[in-house]
Structure 1
Amino acid sequence: MNVLLFAPGLLFLLLTQFGLRGALPKLGICAVLQVVLGLPFLLENPIGYLSRSFDLGRQFLFRWTVNWRFLPETLFLHRAFHLALLATHLTLLLLFVLCRWHRTGESILSLLKDPSKRKVPPQPLTPNHIVSTLFTSNFIGICFSRSLHYQFYVWYFHTLPYLLWATPARWLTHLLRLLVLGLIELSWNTYPSTSCSSAALHICHAVILLQLWLGPQPFPKSIPHSKKAH
């Protein structure tokens, strides 16, 4: 399911480079791949496969939560809390799209146009541009998940060094970045989770989000390959 957290960033990149008409075939490839991979299950029990694989309304157990241990269990299980997290998630994604990712000066609706018909043609995507957008999209989803269980750490642990060091921030020294990484690791390795470990995890997530938002560049520049002297 965590691959869905990358979807907003992927959609933005596709629209930026190809427009709506050009992005649709690429999205079709993603859809066809999912159908092909799930074909054995779809042929055997399509209703069961679809209902259980994409059960967005399932209830998580409070005993396993890593990120919301400091909340009362009644609030953790409350539907209004889940909707508030979803609304915050979507709002923050929209803010990043409007204020951090889309910096051409044109309306966001210009992404739907063919790139050749825009006032400002899109720049070629660099590897850092792509990785930054996808990792940030995934990280925002992690921050506002209804519950993070211990196995969910694999969703984003490998992206944390990049998110911490790729965006320049004078106020966040290397020592503080290492401290953030260490506290996140400690929070995930505390079993059972405690109010302190959950709070520490959210504080570290907030620091990373703040750095991504306040960074002086919307995307880190690609590092040119050095040419070997002959």
Structure 2
Amino acid sequence: MAPGERSQKRKSQSFMARVSQIWQKYATKDMLVDLIFNPKYLWVSALFFILAEIIVNIYIIQKIKYTEIDWVAYMQEVEGVVNGTWDYTKLRGDTGPLVYPAGFVYFFLGLYKITSNGANVRLAQYIFAAFYIITLVLVFRIFHKSRKLPPYILIFMCCTSYRVHSIFVLRLFNDPVAMMFLYAAINLFIDGYWGVGSLIYSLAVSIKMNILLFAPALLLAYLRCLGFKKTILQLTICAAVQVLLAVPFLMANSFGYIKQSFDLGRVFLFEWTVNWRFLPEEIFVNRWFHLVLLVLHLVLLCTFAYTHWDRYLVNYATLQGIGLETEMACQLLVLPLFVSNFIGVAVSRSLHYQFYVWYFHSLPYVLWSTQFSVTFRLLLLGVVELCWNTYPSTWWSSGLLHACHLAVLTGLFLNRPTNKRTERLKKALEKKE
């Protein structure tokens, strides 16, 4: 063996010896338990799963067949803009007219250019894999800052999410893009960057309207944390983004743009519903049924705003006012946003399979905000996953999904803020002073 090779071997052995010494020093039984159960160390598991997900997504793209659903239609819709059509009523694809706001057009127009006019689907898949990783990083950061979830929950989020991986890298829907921007906005909100957060939030809305499900809790957060005047400023930012993005379309046909991109009365096809399969189709498409769901949505929002969110956000504003940054403070802001969205999903007029990403990543957080046992929480996660992976949906899968949603809402409602929690907050404030 040459002298240089012996020297290199000794260095390698020395390095491995140091690694072994460090492992033996710190890898105690308590530490291993902490890495599995202690929310403080969730970031360690997060790093591991981020690296693992990079490999998994590459494998999925290379080995599992891509299924065309909406990508070609997206490309056809934005191609109309490339060809000089700004009238929204004339922008169409194979699946029908363009029904998303202007931000969708610009974002997918960029993808259109990058992917050779949409022809390079494999490149698009890798771009969406990057979106998936970015989304995980943003979600894991929220989890880490809030110290709410045990590290082992990431196993269930990453290893059982067949449907979510499919939505991102095998279907290329716009839903995950909107959610990526949404989680970026929440990260900015919890860091105190309200103006930039509002801008990113509005960009998310401009890609798909489901992001408005977070709006009721966000509006209350503006009012409680920033006051009336600054709330007006945040709403102005949100509105300005929508108007600026829409200017060319508004100039071409303002009524057509507003009607088509923000159509709240759109009727979904019964054949694709995940959550109402147990109903007769004539009830599903009935306007009175939609009206009942709307009233139920408003009642649930008002109830939770009164019984939960208002106190959470007032306490959050108090903690922020004295500069006390704690995991409790983060939880007080994040939970109303996630629950507001969950309520919207639970009473939605129709859920399609790609809509699973609307609440998939926030569902563990919501469940860990109940007083259910760990076993029951994991059971609910498993049953929800089963329902979303039953294709086509059946009467029992849609009924079971509603049963899970009802159980979660009940658990959240019963875990109301109490005087005991308020006392703990007062003690924290006194300690700070």
* Shorter-chain TM-score tier: 0.7 to 0.9
Q: Distance in 1 between matches of 2:416 and 2:269?
A: 40
SS in 1 for 2:264: coil
1:194 aligns with 2:394: yes
Look up the SS of the partner of 1:192 in the other structure.
coil
For residue 17 of structure 1, report the CA deviation from its aligned partner.
1.6
Deviation, structure 1 residue 43? 4.1
Cα pair distance change 1:40/1:190, threshold 3 Å: farther
Letter in structure 2 aligned against 1:207: A
CA distance in 1, matches of 2:245, 2:359: 23
The residue that corresponds to 2:239 in the other structure is: 31
| Deviation by residue 1:41-97 (Cα, 9 ceiling, x = unmatched) | 334443322111111111111000000000111111111110000001001110111
Alpha-carbon distance between aligned partners in 1 of 2:386 and 2:242, rounded to the nearest angstrom: 35
Q: Encode CA deviations 1:109-139: one digit per residue, 9 max, x unaligned.
A: xx9xxx9xxxx99513522111101101111
Q: Report the Cα distance in structure 1 between the residues aligned to 2:279 and 2:405, rounded to whole angstroms.
A: 17
TM-score (norm 2): 0.45
| Secondary structure class of the residue paired with 1:148 | coil
- Percent identity for Structure 1 against Structure 2: 52
Residue 147 of structure 1: which of 345, 350, 353 is its match?
Answer: 350
The answer (yes or no) to whether the contact 1:10–1:134 under 8 Å persists in 2 is yes
Query: In structure 2, how many angstroms separate the alpha carbons of the residues matched to 1:211 and 1:94?
Result: 17
Cα distance, 1:60–1:121 mapped onto 2, change above 3 Å: closer
Aligned match for 2:330, one of 123, 127, 140: 127
Bigger shift: residues 43-52 or 176-185: 43-52
Name the one with the larger helix percent: 2
Q: Which range moved further: 80-89 or 14-23?
A: 14-23
Alpha-carbon shift at residue 168 of structure 1 (Å): 4.5
Superposition map of 1:70-219 within 5 A = 70-103=278-311, 122-124=317-319, 126-165=329-368, 167-169=369-371, 172-217=372-417
Task: Name the counterpart of 2:150.
Answer: none
In 2, distance between residues paired with 1:121 and 1:128?
9
* Matching residue of 2:187: none
Judge conservation of contact 1:65–1:149 (CA < 8 Å) in 2. yes
Q: Of the two, which has the highest radius of gyration? A: 2
Q: TM-score, normalised by structure 1?
A: 0.82
CA positional deviation for 1:176: 1.2
Aligned residues: 206
Query: Which blocks of at least 5 consecutive residues in structure 1 are unaligned?
Result: 105-110, 225-230
Asked which structure has the greater RCO (Cα within 8 Å, sep 6+), the reply is 1
Consecutive unaligned residues in structure 2, runs of 5 or more: 1-208, 321-328, 429-433
In 2, Cα distance between the equivalents of 1:162 and 1:212?
11
Across the aligned residues of Structure 1 and Structure 2, the Cα RMSD in angstroms comes to 2.6
For the 8 Å contact 1:70–1:199, the answer to whether it is kept is yes
- Separation in structure 2 between the aligned mates of residue 95 and residue 206 of structure 1, nearest angstrom: 15
Matches of 2:319 and 2:268, distance apart in 1: 42
Q: Separation in 2 of the partners of 1:146 and 1:31? A: 26
